[in-house]
Amino acid sequence: MHRLTPTVRRLAAAKSSKNILISKSKRCFASASPTSWDADTNDSMNTNSLTKLFNPTDDHAALREMVRSFTEREVEPQALEYNRSETFNSELFRKFGSQNGGLGILGLTAPDEFGGTGLPDATAVSIVHEELSYSDPALCLSYLAHSILLVNNLAVNANDEQLARFMPGICDGSKIGGMCMSEPNAGTDVLGMKSNAVYDSARDGFILNGTKMWITNGTLTGKETGDLFLVYARTGTEKRSDITQFVVEAGMEGFNVGQKITDKLGMRASPTAELVFENVFLPAKTHVVGDVNGATLCMMRNLEIERVALAAMAVGIARRSLDEMIAYASNRPAFGKSSLFGFGQIQKHISESYAEYMAGKCYLYAMANGLNLSTYGNGLDADGVKLYCATMAKNVADRAIQVMGGYGYCGEYTVERLWRDAKLLEIGGGTNESHHKNMARDLHKLDGNKLE
């Protein structure tokens, strides 16, 4: 287990000393269940086995409280406004970085000698994504694209010279970026990508051409590209897996926004774009990450932690949906009863939602606590936890709308946004159908061996 860096420890202590706590109105979930996971429910929680599962160490508990406090104070108040306007709160996002006393979580898994937090820990990744998604899944999606798809990928696969060159800016928040993999005609079939990079021996670099689609943080303004991206492109013709990853920076000639994608069902405060590459020159020495034709392994390895992070987002969405439906049901009288808890139909919605949420959360942290970010081959449960949690979150949000009736259908009451946001989790980072295929393949390989 990696320890929190002094920066994060100091920030956590500072926020604790200011008593920046989640408001009691947001804690109805804790009061509803004496065995809830919330660390501040009662003193006996310190020895509760579920608490140890969700916060394996004191450092994890400190990280959770730090991010939760920041989310309550900074993220929650702006979520509805930016969702309605379909705009990205870049000013708030930069506070996730290490500049000017920020949270220091943009480089959560990156080496501290290059500006990161130095915590290559899947449990820490899960905690941050769960807490941010409780209030604003869209902002969290942009955080995931930056911190996991870009920063973590670079941290694992780039050389020291590249880390020294690119990592400080994307860790401190001065630069915002993401990763480019999907294309207009290659989503789940990622190895069917057509973007290509051809080596130019005279210039010792690659000429990149192609189009990437659905790129989170692809544009921050609607016109200019984001600041820095890892881009996958085909560099060989012998195998479908002959793919290389490159660093592409804003301002490079031929690198432009094709279009900003608007009017999405959900995740509206997270910018999405089509990016176009027309004869973009990329120096081989500085902008090729890893081995030429060797990026498929990098891609698959990073997909595992991406899916865990997306599952954590689903857990955050489900927890907030439960909080909202329990609070509403507790205070809404009907048909002569003091609350909706007196009706069996409502009891069913709430109890089934809680059971499914807890099952997903336990699966998530059991998986995360044992995941080594530098390894590959954890696909069965990376697929499984996202498959289960994504649909679970959508269903819990749907039940919350049903419990709250007309109020749940309106944006002011949060759960309709959570329901819309949750749907993406069944598509992005791998569709449910791709998880079915991958898991069936891996389970078939057991060939008669029994599960533990």
Per the DSSP assignment, residues forming a β-bridge with 248 are 229
Q: What share of the chain is helix, strand, coil (3-state, %, to 5)?
A: 55, 15, 35
The answer for residues whose C-beta is within 8 angstroms of residue 107's C-beta and 6 or more apart is 97, 98, 114, 115, 116, 117, 147, 151, 155, 167, 170, 171, 172
Query: How many whole angstroms from its chain centre is CA 128?
Result: 9
Neighbours of 123 (CB within 10 A): 28
127, 36 in Cβ contact below 8 A? no
Q: Which stretches of 27-174 are DSSP H helices?
A: 28-32, 49-54, 58-70, 79-85, 90-94, 122-135, 137-144, 153-157, 160-172
Phi, psi for residue 447 in degrees, rounded to 5: 50, 55
Closest CA to 116 of 163, 177, 174, 68: 163
Q: What tokens were used for 316?
A: 């955050």
CA nearest neighbour of 404 among 334, 316, 313: 334
Does an H or E element contain 196, and which? strand 196-200
CA distance 403 to 222: 38
Q: How far apart are CA 54 and CA 40, in angstroms?
A: 13
Find the catalytic residue in 131, 306, 416, 426: 306
Closest by CA to 61, choosing from 137, 140, 123, is: 123
- Give the type of residue at 90: S
**Strands 228-234 and 177-180: what pairing?**
parallel
Q: Which residues pair with 190 in a beta bridge?
A: none
Tell me whether residue 86 is one of the annotated catalytic residues.
no
Report CA 350 to chain centroid distance, whole Å. 26
Quick check: helix, strand or coil at residue 212? Answer: strand
> What's the Cα-to-Cα distance from 394 to each of 1, 75, 189, 428, rounded to whole Å?
32, 21, 25, 14
Phi, psi of 380, rounded to the nearest 5 degrees: -55, -50
How many other C-beta atoms lie within 10 A of the C-beta of residue 239? 10
* Active site positions, annotated: 306
